[in-house]
Structure 1
Amino acid sequence: MLKSFYTNEIKNGAFKGSVLFFCVAIALCFISASNSYAFEGKVKYVVDGDTFVLQSGEKVRLASIDTPEVGRNGKVDQYYAKEATDLLSELILNKVVTVTPVKGKKESYGRVVGWVYLGKSFINKEMVSKGAAFYYYHPHNDAGKQDLLLEAQIIAMSSAKGFWTKISAMEDFNIKWVGNLRSRRCFREGSNFSVTVMSRNRVHFSNLGEAFMAGYTPARATKFWPEVKK
């Protein structure tokens, strides 16, 4: 019976197609693996709380986190931008780090986006643990590592680490927000952005703390983060 099955499959060409598909799948696995290679480099310069430059000239962006923006071109810093930059400098400046890219190509700003380690210390997580960065979900990044970042964020929020003391006291933090299940971004309830979220993807939060605890972050278009007054 089994021999007859394979004979018929070969005659029909289906078995050959299956073999071809299997070979292609294996090849893609090897390509994917080669794209996630890890490399080492000495940190020459820290740009801000989530970006740095190696001595080789390679620019690296910490994956699945975000930090307050440093003001450029005449713009002011966002709250806690300097502190986040100083912390990352303290952690890795002039030290050799290991970077594991999350994908095979650089993002639009020419940076390698990846998981960064200094020995056994997971730098992405360190920034979140100290309240200098927040978890920023990405659908294609490693789920296990992203879970670690979210866990670190929940602890940092509960302990009022870093920027969380001021951020959690903001008026906008304590109003209702609407999250998008697909993107894990959220918007003030009733805003023009919130009404565009499809009903099947809509998640309601009684305050922004609930959203952050669930792994959602305010969309950049909401301009939620406060700036440093001159």
Structure 2
Amino acid sequence: MPKGKIKIIKSRSGVLKGPVFFLLFCSLLFSAATVSAFEAKVRYVIDGDTFILANNKHVRIAGIDTPEIGRDGKPDQYYAQQAKSMLNKLILGKRVRIEYAGKGTDRYKRIIGWVYVDDVFVNKRMIRNGAAFFYFHKGNDRGKQKLLLQAQRKAYDEKKGFWPFIGKLKKYNKPWVGNKNSRRCFLTGDRYAKKISWRNKVKFSNLGEAFYDGYSPARHLNFWPVVK
């Protein structure tokens, strides 16, 4: 074989083998890496965990949840405006780097991402300041989720943001039941709590213990108080 030429080997099935297959494999890996993250400017902040880019794409910050801002005449949840204000200061008008998390988008077609501005990991900063709580998802990066939970424990211990007020609520100080599989928790006696298998069931004397272990209240409970 003349020098400088690469031998292309095909199997009977027609699948490429040897150097060509290796080059194609590397090319695919490179392509995947280039689309796993991007940079864009933030045009508008909707609330503490959602914002809009200059190209009108909506972004939901991965691994966190913040109090909801009231819409259609409904009142804000406690600390919703403070969380929005904090995110505004961090990212509004700035160019951010977004790494896709989990499946990349949710059912509302929003981008789900790990967000960075300069050297600040926004997801972690929101939790660390007590403006958001950790929200576990199976498909999300384990290392990043571990960082978020550690940030939550520090915010909780230091009584940052909403934690002092939330800790005084009546429901907060009742027994809760967690699901090891989903990392959601329920008030004892809730219909969904009764459906958790004994293998996945974990008991907490209060919601603080659940938060500390990385569990979050099931949404249907409407646990978070509103501003009257």
Which protein has the bigger strand share? 2
Counterpart CA distance in 1 for 2:227 and 2:169 is 14
Name the counterpart of 2:10.
none
Name the counterpart of 1:13.
none
RMSD over aligned Cα, in angstroms? 2.2
Partner SS for 1:183: coil
| Correspondences of 1:32-51 after superposition (within 5 Å) | 33-34=32-33, 37-51=36-50
Partner SS for 2:105: coil
Counterpart CA distance in 2 for 1:148 and 1:212 is 14
Counterpart CA distance in 1 for 2:166 and 2:37 is 35
- Check whether the contact 2:102–2:141 (CA below 8 A) recurs between aligned residues: no
Counterpart CA distance in 1 for 2:217 and 2:76 is 18
State the 1:105 CA deviation. Answer: 4.3
**Letter in structure 1 aligned against 2:96:** V
| 1:132 paired to 2:131 | yes
Name the counterpart of 1:157.
156
| Correspondences of 1:161-180 after superposition (within 5 Å) | 161-180=160-179
State the 1:109 CA deviation. Answer: 1.3
State the 1:173 CA deviation. Answer: 1.0
Counterpart CA distance in 2 for 1:169 and 1:32 is 50
Counterpart CA distance in 2 for 1:36 and 1:216 is 31
**Letter in structure 2 aligned against 1:158:** D
Q: TM-score if structure 2 supplies the norm length?
A: 0.85
Name the counterpart of 1:116.
115
Which protein has the bigger helix share? 1
- Check whether the contact 1:38–1:98 (CA below 8 A) recurs between aligned residues: yes
| Correspondences of 1:177-196 after superposition (within 5 Å) | 177-196=176-195
Q: Which runs of 5+ in 1 are unaligned?
A: 1-15
State the 1:213 CA deviation. Answer: 0.4
| 1:107 paired to 2:115 | no
Q: TM-score if structure 1 supplies the norm length?
A: 0.84
Partner SS for 1:114: strand
Distance 1:135 1:32, change over 3 A: farther
- Check whether the contact 1:36–1:103 (CA below 8 A) recurs between aligned residues: no
Q: What whole-Å deviation, never above 9, does each CA across 1:74-123 have from its counterpart, x for those lacking one?
A: 21111111110010001110111100011454211121000000111000
Distance 1:192 1:104, change over 3 A: closer
Distance 1:181 1:71, change over 3 A: same
| 1:207 paired to 2:203 | no
Name the counterpart of 1:220.
219
State the 1:49 CA deviation. Answer: 0.2
- Check whether the contact 2:186–2:193 (CA below 8 A) recurs between aligned residues: yes
Q: What whole-Å deviation, never above 9, does each CA across 1:118-173 have from its counterpart, x for those lacking one?
A: 11100000000000000000001000000000000000001110000100111111
State the 1:191 CA deviation. Answer: 1.9
- Check whether the contact 1:48–1:81 (CA below 8 A) recurs between aligned residues: yes
Large movers: runs of 4+ above 4 Å: none
Identity in percent = 50
**Letter in structure 1 aligned against 2:224:** W
**Letter in structure 2 aligned against 1:73:** D
- Check whether the contact 1:100–1:115 (CA below 8 A) recurs between aligned residues: yes
Q: What whole-Å deviation, never above 9, does each CA across 1:19-51 have from its counterpart, x for those lacking one?
A: 9xx99xx69x83994486211111110000000
Name the counterpart of 2:80.
81
**Letter in structure 1 aligned against 2:164:** T
Counterpart CA distance in 1 for 2:144 and 2:221 is 27
